[in-house]
Structure 1
Amino acid sequence: MISIIASRISRAGAWTAMLAGLAFAPAAHADIVPVSAAQCAAMKARHVITPANPVPCARLSTVSFDYTDFDGATRSGSVVVLDAVAPQVESLFGELLLRSTPLASAMPLENFDGDDEKSMAANNTSAFNGRPMTGGGAWSKHAYGAAIDINPLQNPYVGKAGSPQQQVLPPQAGADSLQRAPLRPGQAEDLVGVFYDHGFLVWGGNWKEPIDYQHFEIGSREFIRKLASMPRAQARAEFERYVARYRSCVRQGAPAHAGDADDDAPEDIALRDNCAARLRK
């Protein structure tokens, strides 16, 4: 009898110790804060934003989060995005952490003096940058805080693919980064569904020219301008409805056994792409 009681006490002690360990285990860090006056000043000083930018600092938020690096260690990073999309971006990076998706770096562009090529060369995942589109012309979707570039070395920008004039950015991306199968850690194909599920319904890897594997954006310039023109709360609600419509489309089109299915199966990829194409604005 004494031995039974001792055994039960021992097991109870083990459970208590385990629960105590869980209680004091470090939680994943995530946070959303408006871009501060000090950060805005740094962004201006380092050529990340100018008075001509289509979105001012007052409409930008910094999303901080934990991520897994390519060595399996947990790191802290952040991106700057349009305030309307910030909660979904926070959830997106939380999901990448749960999936142990590796990121090499995640720092705002003021750490690179607003130089996109420096950021790409450092394999930095980033969002806001007040710059024109690659190749010049109109404002990039990054200038609205409505686009994210992920792991540029694993997911390069490729212009005039397959031609003698082919351009690969960053140039440091190895030849293996142009081989998209079999997939390797950090490549974007495995993440398309996650980005779609959080409202980033355009993936540059689906483009014909250029092909921009690192690039995700929420939708058309008109839709982004609409969000930027709305009051913050109204814009956030509009974007949440946008996300909800996409998720509803996927649920309605999924087979009854979808919970047990491989979400990278061809039919699931086709469903996601069709819903994204139909619903993105």
Structure 2
Amino acid sequence: MTDTIASRLNRAGYRAAVPALLAALLFAPAAHADIVPVSPAQCAAMKARHVITPANPVPCSRLSTVSFDYTGFDGATRSGSVVVLDAIAPQVESLFGELLLRSVPLAGAVPLEHFDGDDEKSMAANNTSAFNGRPMTGGGGWSKHAYGVAIDINPLQNPYVAKPGSAQQQVLPPQAAASYLQRTPVRPGQAEDLVGVFYDHGFLVWGGNWKEPIDYQHFEIGSRAFVRKLAALPRAQARAEFERYVARYRSCTGKAAQAQNGDADDDDDVPEDTALRDSCAVRMRR
């Protein structure tokens, strides 16, 4: 005798529950993500809070705010945002969307005007951030953050370490020294598990690979010549140039072919070829 799922539900008295369940699934709020140009009001706040000055290598008119949902360390979904160069904003939106899908925890993500442009205050708050119109740490020119092409993620879990291993070693934020200088085993929110995700979206330089300083939180897109080229090109051309940059990396790793063939999801459980990944990043970044 045939016994359908529907008849079982009806007999169990769940006739009214099924439509409600379907409605809940259909109308559940989708993950929020958005890209908007930095507004005049936000630009004024950035100037007042010492995040940007007239001397900055890119003006507010070339910056975009990328808003997104993320998973907190408590498992709750929250909203955050970063400010980046307009040319890379679509890839940054996609990057944070992938972090959300992977349930990668972030402690927070607000622009640097909330910390008066003070990078150390932002790190102390374990804040994920991008644009900050400041020079490189230690001097020597503008930081990639001043172009909006670098992202610092979870500074507590991924500290900045100057003069590592020496008597003069400095760890920022200082509270990271007790727990996060030991990098294995990798724990939630640490950058080691995220290198491939950042590379896939054009951030082909990771500060965790540096010798001095070691900057575990820091990802950036490439050479200064390439960054200056993006900043000098009109927005549409700069965006197209950056998309080609990302496509070349993905082609090198074979991920572009996987996506075209519909195989990308089939390889989720296959260990990442980190040697190929790192080789392609070195070859493709410019």
TM-score greater than 0.5 by the shorter chain: yes
2:213 aligns to what? 210
Whole-angstrom distance in 2 between the partners of 1:251 and 1:189: 21
Shift of 1:128: 0.0
TM-fit CA distance, 1:86: 0.1
2:127 to 121, 124, 127: 124
Q: 1:113 to 1:14 in 2, by over 3 A?
A: same
TM-score normalised to structure 1 length: 0.93
Separation in 2, partners of 1:58, 1:263? 41
Instruction: Determine the C-alpha separation between the residues in 2 that align with 1:38 and 1:106.
Output: 20
Q: For 2:119 and 2:268, locate their aligned partners in 1 and report how far apart those are by CA, in whole Å.
A: 41
Taking a change above 3 Å as real, the CA distance of residues 14 and 56 of structure 1, as seen in their structure-2 partners, is same
Counterpart check, 1:274 vs 2:279: yes
Tell me how far apart the structure 1 counterparts of residues 118 and 285 of structure 2 sit (CA, whole Å): 29
Q: Which secondary structure state, in structure 1, belongs to the residue aligned with residue 84 of structure 2?
A: strand
Aligned length: 277
Per the TM alignment, residue 176 of structure 1 is displaced from its structure 2 partner at its CA by: 1.9
Shift of 1:18: 2.8
User: Could you tell me which residue of structure 2 aligns to residue 222 of structure 1?
Assistant: 225
Distance 2:4 2:270 in 1: 47
SS in 2 for 1:106: coil
TM value normalised by structure 2: 0.91
SS across alignment from 2:247: helix
C-alpha distance in 1 between matches for 2:68 and 2:123: 20
Deviates more, 1:254-263 or 1:147-156: 254-263
RMSD value, Cα: 2.4
8 A contact 1:65–1:77 mirrored in 2: yes
What does 1:126-275 align with in structure 2 at a 5 Å threshold? 126-251=129-254, 259=267, 262-264=270-272, 268-275=273-280
Question: How far 1:172 moved relative to its partner?
Answer: 2.0
2:103 maps to which of 87, 100, 105: 100
In structure 2, the CA distance between the partners of 1:4 and 1:97, relative to structure 1 (3 Å rule), is closer
Cα deviation 1:166-203 (Å, max 9, x = unaligned): 11111121422000000011000000000000000000
Residue among 41, 46, 61 paired with 2:44? 41
Is the CA contact (8 Å cut-off) linking 1:46 and 1:114 kept in structure 2? yes
The letter of the residue matching 1:221 is: R
Structure 1 residue 23: deviation in Å? 1.6
Change (3 A) 1:112 1:198: same
Task: Return the letter of the residue paired with 1:279.
Answer: M
Q: Deviations over 1:235-261 (max 9, x none)?
A: 000000100010010017999998265
Counterpart residue type for residue 224 of structure 2: R
- Quote the offset at 1:84 in angstroms: 0.3
Q: Is the 8 A contact 1:253 1:271 kept in 2?
A: no
Q: Distance in 1 between matches of 2:6 and 2:228?
A: 68
Q: Is the 8 A contact 2:128 2:154 kept in 1?
A: yes
Q: 1:12 to 1:244 in 2, by over 3 A?
A: farther
Aligned equivalents of 2:9, 2:175: Cα separation in 1: 60
List alignment gaps of at least 5 residues for structure 1: none
Shift of 1:262: 3.3
- Shift, 1:91, TM fit: 0.3
- SS of the residue 2:146 aligns to: helix
- Distance in 2, matches of 1:272 and 1:185, equals 21
After the TM superposition, which of the residue ranges 163-172 and 207-216 deviates more from structure 2? 163-172
Distance 1:69 1:143 in 2: 27
Deviates more, 1:251-260 or 1:226-235: 251-260
Name the % identity. 81
Gapped regions of structure 2 (runs ≥ 5): none
* Change in CA separation of 1:233 and 1:161 when aligned onto 2, cut-off 3 Å: same
| In 2: Cα distance, 1:162 partner to 1:14 partner | 61
The AA in structure 2 aligned to 1:250 is T
| AA of the residue aligned to 1:7 | S
